[in-house]
Amino acid sequence: MSAMNELTKGFFKENPIFKQALGMCPFLAVTSSVENAIGMGAAATFVLVASNFLVSLFRKAIPAKVRIPAYIVIIATFVTLVDLLMNAYVPALHRNLGIFIPLIVVNCIILGRAEGYANKNTVFHSILDGIGMGIGFTLAMVIMATFREILGNGSWLNINLLGEAYQNQPLLIAILAPGAFILMGFILGFFNIMEKRRKGGDK
Amino acid sequence: MTPAALLAAFIAAPEGGEASFSVARMMAIIISAIFVNNFVLMRFLGICPFLGVSKQLDSAVGMGAAVIFVMVLASLGSYLVYHNVLVPHELVYLRTISFIIIIASLVQLVEMILQKFSPALYDALGIYLPLITTNCAILGVAVLNIEEKFSLGYALINAVAAGIGFTLALVLMAGLRERMETANVPASLRGLPIAFLIAGAMSIAFLGFAGLGG
């Protein structure tokens, strides 16, 4: 039961994007298409699980004073691994994500989980936490990318949904930079309303 | 080192980069980094401090100054290490790790030097410095300098301009948010949601610069 909770809390209850507002930079930047969102989500999840595993494994060996640099080096190692693997096997996706792959290093979700969870919990729970948070992050990106790709390109995961007539004249702003900010504003506003409804229902 | 040799070192381009230095290209880099590809509003780098430190004008200016300062130092350090250590020894795959270590240690060093020699400046910038290590704009500009194959001179100009672009966005945002305090915002949009909507409106304005300066 507890293990299940560690896994699923990242999906909605403690969703890194919608509830904790962490990892905003890659979230806004790569959600212009669902494909990019899934690619970034997979890369970040891998780094998250691997770094959580290693940090948790060495949690008693790393002195408290140098723990942050140690975590950063661990995270950077896995990011380099992902960078090289993606460059070798999915070069097109690697090109699309570009600078945001090395920037996974400074994604606050990953350092946040290392510092806030993995350094005081068992290896098994830390891995589950990493998977859960990774899925939560990916889920949030896919939701955002779904809005942006359908509005801005008339397609979902490169499958044409709205027909050629729409694709010739789409709501282009949705996949440009402003669309990301504006949609995020409305999504967070929507979450605020839901939260208020839920609290109101409790009374 | 003679001034001429120093100048040559600044404009020497890495393999595949542009060899010559021109004022026109320099202006293009500056305009691109500040307006066309504004780090915050167009490239989505440094969103966390952009949303976190933009509630008051004073702290926005302080954060902006600290970011420009560290960006230039980080660009210099990462550029020299990349082209003088990593490339000759074929260790290019260590780029991410070495850059993040350079940035983290630079921030620490700057913090200690400021504390010792300029307590006034330390008081003004001190609280922002630790936040800067995880500011993706710093690592972003270091990586971009390498990927664009800039010469050292262009890289430093790009770093200053990117920092100014970041500060511009931050200060504009802080000015708007100070006014938002007294505005009648719908309850569900208060706080972060309205900040995102404002950023979106600013981003639309910056979209107008597209195509400027090539």
* Residue among A72, A83, A84, A80 nearest A40 (CA): A83
pLDDT band at A135 (very low <50, low <70, confident <90, very high): very high
A69, B193: Cβ pair inside 8 Å? Answer: no
Give the gap in angstroms from C-alpha A3 to the nearest C-alpha of chain B.
30
Which residues 27-46 on chain A approach chain B with CB closer than 8 angstroms?
28-29
A17–B contact, CB cutoff 8 A: no
Look at chain A and count its residues: 203
**B124 CA: distance to closest CA in chain A (Å):** 24
In this predicted model, which residue has the larger pLDDT, A40 or A68? Answer: A40
> What pLDDT, on the 0 to 100 scale, is given for residue B117?
85
Confidence of residue B1 (pLDDT cuts 50, 70, 90): low
Interchain pair A24, B51: CB under 8 A: yes
Residues of chain A with C-beta less than 8 angstroms from the C-beta of B104? 69, 72
User: In this complex, which of A29, A76, A173 lies closest to B44 when CB atoms are compared?
Assistant: A29
- Cα–Cα distance between B95 and B86 in angstroms, integer? 8
Q: Which residues of A touch B189 (CB under 8 A)?
A: 185, 189, 192
Task: State what percent of residues in chain B have pLDDT above 70.
Answer: 98
**Average pLDDT of the segment spanning A185-203:** 83
| CA distance linking residue B56 with residue A142, whole number of Å | 33
CA distance B213 to B210: 9
Query: Inter-chain contact B196–A181, Cβ cutoff 8 Å?
Result: yes
Tell me which residue in A26, A103, A189 faces B193 most closely, judged by beta carbons.
A189
Q: Give per-residue pLDDT as tens, A88-106.
A: 999 999 999 999 999 999 8
pLDDT in tens, B26-44: 999 999 999 999 999 999 9
Report the DSSP beta bridge partners of residue A155.
A160
How far CA B173 is from CA of A28, B11, B53, B179, in Å, comes to: 18, 36, 10, 10
The DSSP bridge partners found for residue A159 are A156
The reply to whether A142 touches chain B by the CB within 8 Å rule is: no
Mean pLDDT (chain B) is 88
Is the CB of residue B157 less than 8 Å from the CB of residue B30?
Answer: yes
The pLDDT of residue A55 is above 60: yes
Nearest to B97 among A73, A181, A184 (CB): A73
Q: Is A176 on the interface with B (CB under 8 A)?
A: yes
Instruction: Please tell me the pTM assigned to this model.
Output: 0.90
Distance CA B71, CA B157 (A): 11
Residues of B in contact with A80 (CB under 8 A): 93-97
Three-class DSSP category at A155: strand
Q: Which of A80, A192, A193 faces B93 most closely, judged by CB atoms?
A: A80
Which amino acid, one-letter code, is at A14? E
Which range in A142-146, A192-196, B111-115, B127-131 is most confidently predicted, on average pLDDT?
A: A142-146
Q: How many residues does chain B have?
A: 214
Residue A46 has pLDDT above 90, yes or no: yes
Q: For the purposes of burial, counting CB atoms within 10 Å of the CB of B19, is it exposed (0-12), middle (13-18) or buried (19 or more)? A: exposed
| B213: pLDDT strictly greater than 70 | no
Residue A203 has pLDDT above 50, yes or no: no
Question: What gap in Å lies between CA B108 and CA B112, rounded to an integer?
Answer: 6
